[in-house]
Structure formats: structure tokens, C-alpha cells
Chains A and B, each alone.
Chain A
Amino acid sequence: MRQKRLLVAWCAILSVGTISAATAQDTAKAALAPPAVVSPADKTAIQVFEKQVKDYVALRNKVRENAPKLSKDSTPEQIQAYRTALELSVRNARPNAKRGDVFRPEAADYIRRTLKNEFQGQDRKELRETVLETETQGVVLRVNYPYAQSAELSEMPATLLAKLPQLPKEVRYRFVGRNMLLVDRESNVIIDFMPDALP
């Protein structure tokens, strides 16, 4: 009888442990889940946005040929030469680039709604603080010009990144205050930006 009770107790303990571990994994998976419902109009907006980004990357990778090759064991001088050359090449290849070229109205609207859903609620206060505590005073928002090297970079919340349209490796999202930027990862050039993106 005693042994039976012990066996029942062990089964209960193991079950709780398994459920806890599964719950933790489920929590992480839920946190990284994409948005549940995307309307046909939003799907189109996302597709247009992704195409604009893809076009930028194709152009950028083409003009990257003009920059000196950068090895994985580079000196600071080589890094600077590469960054400067890439920045200039990208700027020259997009002489008429302006705000809204990539964040077109429909995509901007979808992203703003996604941000609103992600940042609203008292439990999201910390998320807002994580983004808004970044010291970005002095960052000039100008398409086709680099983000100030001396300025801090905002941490992009993992849960938010999972819900936004996915980007190729050459491009990154970044916040400056409540503004959302699209930035070239290597040259740090601002490709486009959305003012007042955060609620």
C-alpha cells in the first residue's frame, strides 16, 4: 500500500515537472509566434514591403562589388574603408531615395498596428522602457545617410521581431525614440524610416 502511494506520488511529481517544462517551452514558442490573423489586404501590403526590401538588397549587393573585399580578420582601417565605400555606393545608387519608398502607406499601417498590439497593456511597460530608454539624442533621421556611429542602438525585442515582416540578413529594424528605421546592417545607412511608429 505504502509502495503504491509512493509510486502515485512520484508519478504526480514527474507529471508536474513535465508539464512545467512543456509550459516553459510553449511560453517561448508563443512569444515568438507570428501574428495569428493577417487579412488579405495586409498580406498584400507585406508582400509589397518584402519586395521593396528585396529590391534594395539586390541593388545594395550589386554596388557592394565597388567596395573593397572585407575579410573576417580585418584591421580597423579595412573595416572603415569598406563601410565608407559601401555607404557611398549605396547612396549614389539611390540618388532620389526618400522617406516612404520602402515603408509604403499600407505596409506602414500594418506595422503600426502590429507595434500597437505588441506594446499596449501594462504588462508591456517593460518592453516600451527597453526600447525608449535607448539614448538616441542627436541621431539625425535622414534617408540614405548613416545612423550616427556614436549613438546607442536600441535592443529589438525578440517577440516583436517574430511578428514583423521578416528581413534578409543585410537589413535591420531599429528604433529611434518612437520612430522605426530600416537600416543597412553593414554600412549603417538609413534605408527608410517611419515617424511615430510606436504608440
Chain B
Amino acid sequence: MRRLYIHKFLIALLISSALSCPAFAQQRATNNAHGAAPKLTLPLKDGSLRFAVMGDTGSGSAKQREVGDMMVQYHQAFPFEFVLMMGDNLYGGEAPQDFEKKFAEPYKALLDQKIKFYATLGNHDLALQTHYENFNMNGKEYYRFKKGNVAFYSLNSNYMDKKQVQWLEDELSRDTSEWKVCFFHHPPYSSAKKHGSDSQLRDVVEPIFVKYGVDVVLTGHDHVYERIKPQKGIYYFVSGAGGQLRTGDVKETSPLIEKSYDRDMHFMLFEVAGDQMYFQAISRTGETIDSGVIARRKK
């Protein structure tokens, strides 16, 4: 009898040690998040434009897949039509198996549902990615497309030559879309320590953005999340932790920060309904790390 009690005690001790182990707790959180309903903060208005954003994804890691899985879960609650990619789509090589492991497999469920991905080139991406069927770049390193009342501009911040700058200025100058969103890899504003604000790029593109009424700029490169305080009326986001992460990389005393997060990977969801643009940043485990609404500027 006494031996039985000792066995029971030892088993209980083993179980409680395992439950309190951080790795196990993290896995449980993941499981719980995967099992629990998505916690959507977006309004799901009729006729709204819905899209997702992810950056620096192409690691091929298990955690990248978990972010992809979480995107699928949220897609069930918030059927976004397409995904914007902030660059660094593939790390470490561009053989066919790299495309498979670092993109096609992690996002297979979304691709199977015919969700389109619109990519931009990062500093780990070669030019021929522009020809990849699933990146929808149409062979171009910079391009524009429109969905509803939103114009999207994908730029190549690795090589911002005069030709691209002129193209951007020409296109924006004749664009009468209600919303203008630019997305590219290097952040004009960032509070991360590793790279931080790309001020030489900012000096070139920001005056154009301001002059032609760009509303939102989405970037990656720094492997964190950050929402920058509006700069000259423009909302900047850093969303560079879709498949990579630099824990603790945000300079928390930075005056630029409206909200930041560098403890886990993430993706973003956006909903545009008339003059309102709603956003939600969601961690790999399904936690809402930021949300809000941007009112369209009168131009």
C-alpha cells in the first residue's frame, strides 16, 4: 500500500514538473491557440477589402509553419483575399526545394484556397523571384495593382535607382485611388537595433509619399513588429517577423514607437471599409499584439 502511494506521488511530481516546464507550457499555448477560436478585432463589414501582411518569412522553420497555420485559422474567421509579402521571401538559396520548403509548403493551405501572394524583394531575394508564379510580380521588381478603392505599390528598396523613383512619382501623381499603400523591404522608420531606420531611403521616398498622399507604408527587414507614430500624416509599420525573429531587438526608449512587439513571430490582417482601415497584428500563438483603425486623410 505504501509502495503504491509512493508511486502515485512520484507520478504526480513528474507530471507537475512537465507542466511547469516552459517549453511544454509554450507548446500547450500553441495547442490551445490552435484549438481556440481566433480572437478577431476587425469589424468584418460587408464589401470590405481584406488582406494579410507578412514579412521576412522564408526560413523554412517549424515556427514559420506555425505562423502559416495560424493565418489559416484566422482566414476561417476573416476571409482575406490576398497576402502582401515584405521581402526576404527565401533565405539561403533559390533552388526549387527552397521555394517548396520556405514558401509553398508553409502556405499550402492558403495557396490551395487560391489566395494570391504579392511579393516584394528583400536583401536575401534574387531578381528572378519576380518570375515565380506564386509571387505575382509579373516579372517586375516594382509594380502597382489595385483592389477596390486601394492602390498598392510594391517597390524594390534594394535598388532604388532614378528609373524606379521616376516611375513611382509618375504613377502616384496620376493615382486617384482613395487609399494608397506602399510596401517594400527596408523600413524608413524603425526602432530596431539591428538595422533601424533607413534614413537615406527615407530622404528619397518620403517626400514623394507626402506629396502624393500615401496613407500607409508597410515594410520588413527588422525581425520585429512595430507601429510607428504617424510621420507627416503617414502610418508606417514594420512587419518583419513572419519567419524570423530577433527577440529584444526593439529599442524601447525610441520616440518613434506607438506599439512594438519582439517576443514572438507574427502576421497582420487589414480590413478597408470606406474611409476606415482596420488592422490587427497577431502572434504565432494567436495573441493579438496590436490593433486599431486608421482614418483616411482628406486629400
Query: Chain A interface (Cβ within 8 Å of chain B)?
Result: 21, 24-25, 27-28, 31-32, 70-80, 82-83, 126-127, 130, 133-134, 149-150, 152-159, 161-162, 166, 169, 172, 185-186, 188
Contact = CB atoms under 8 A, between A and B. Distances in A.
B211 to A, nearest CB: 6
B20 to A, nearest CB: 39
Given A72-B130, A161-B162, 4 more contacts: A24-B211, A72-B131, A75-B133, A77-B96
B177 interface: no
A153 B162 contact: no
Contacts of B204: 28, 31-32, 158-159
Nearest to B103: A76
Interface residues of B, number: 43
A30 to B, nearest CB: 9
Nearest to A24: B207
Contacts, number: 117
A71 B130 CA distance: 10
Contacts of B207: 24-25, 27-28
A158 B95 contact: no
B117 to A, nearest CB: 13
Contacts of A72: 130-131, 137-139
A78 B131 CA distance: 9
B124 A158 contact: no
Q: Which of B94, B98, B132, B200: most chain A CB closer than 10 A? A: B200
Interface in B130-152: 130-133, 137-139
A153 B100 contact: no
Nearest to B194: A133
A159 B200 contact: yes
A128 to B, nearest CB: 11
